[in-house]
């Protein structure tokens, strides 16, 4: 459960502007590739489904992220708002990464999120598909970390 000391604005109920802000903050966090920092956006009892893997609390989510970013090297992510309601946000996203053999991939997915009153995510359901790409087909070329504000989003990139 979350506590009042753990507040992650913007808070529900979401409007269009606050949902877009929440999505960008999530993107920025994941682009940090810092499992400890990212895990703090989730409730202690968060429930995740990511591909065929399940996490049942914040510690399991943090362990998942640690494994993920050890495997998915040079990870760069773009998220885009798809829909929202008072406490829920749906996003579509794509990220590029390579494995330790230098094989590049673009992973496409959708996530459904639900937040508590403190702005912490307590449910996250992700569906993801990986597509092998050539390094020359990459579209995400910013330095590791936060995507620059002037870098095109998914729609602008035709993704």
Report the chain's mean pLDDT, rounded to a whole number.
96
Query: Of 103, 139, 110, 135, whose CA–CA distance to 125 is shortest?
Result: 110
21-32: pLDDT as tens digits = 999 999 999 999
Query: Of 120, 126, 130, 118, whose CA–CA distance to 46 is shortest?
Result: 120
116-128: pLDDT as tens digits = 999 999 999 999 9
What is the pLDDT at residue 1?
A: 46
What is the pLDDT at residue 11?
A: 98
* 99 pLDDT above the threshold of 60: yes
CA distance 30 to 47: 17
What is the pLDDT at residue 2?
A: 45
* 43 pLDDT above the threshold of 90: yes
* 3 pLDDT above the threshold of 90: no
> From start to end of 51-100, where are the E strands?
53-55, 73-84, 88-98
Percentage with pLDDT > 70 across the chain: 97
Mean pLDDT score, 10-19:
98
What is the pLDDT at residue 5?
A: 64
Q: CB under 8 Å to 48, separation ≥6 — which residues? A: 54, 55, 56, 60, 61, 64, 123, 124, 125, 126
Mean pLDDT score, 78-98:
98
* 88 pLDDT above the threshold of 80: yes
Mean pLDDT score, 87-110:
98
Query: Of 155, 150, 146, 149, whose CA–CA distance to 31 is shortest?
Result: 146
Domain architecture of the chain: domains with CATH? 16-137 (3.10.450.50)
């Amino acid at each position: 459960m979350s506590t009042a000391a753990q507040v992650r604005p913007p808070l529900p109920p979401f409007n269009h502007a606050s949902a877009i802000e929440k999505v960008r903050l999530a993107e920025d966090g994941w682009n940090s590739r810092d499992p400890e920092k990212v895990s703090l956006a989730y409730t202690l009892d968060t429930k995740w489904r990511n591909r065929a893997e399940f996490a049942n609390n914040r510690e399991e989510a943090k362990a998942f992220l640690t494994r993920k970013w050890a495997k998915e090297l040079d990870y760069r992510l773009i998220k885009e708002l798809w829909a929202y309601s008072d406490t829920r946000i749906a996003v579509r996203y794509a990220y590029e990464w390579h494995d330790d053999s230098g094989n590049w991939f673009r992973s496409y997915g959708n996530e459904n999120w639900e937040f508590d009153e403190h702005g912490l995510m307590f449910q996250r359901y992700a569906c993801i598909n990986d597509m092998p790409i050539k390094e020359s087909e990459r579209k995400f070329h910013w330095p590791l970390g936060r995507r620059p504000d002037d870098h095109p989003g998914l729609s602008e990139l035709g993704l």
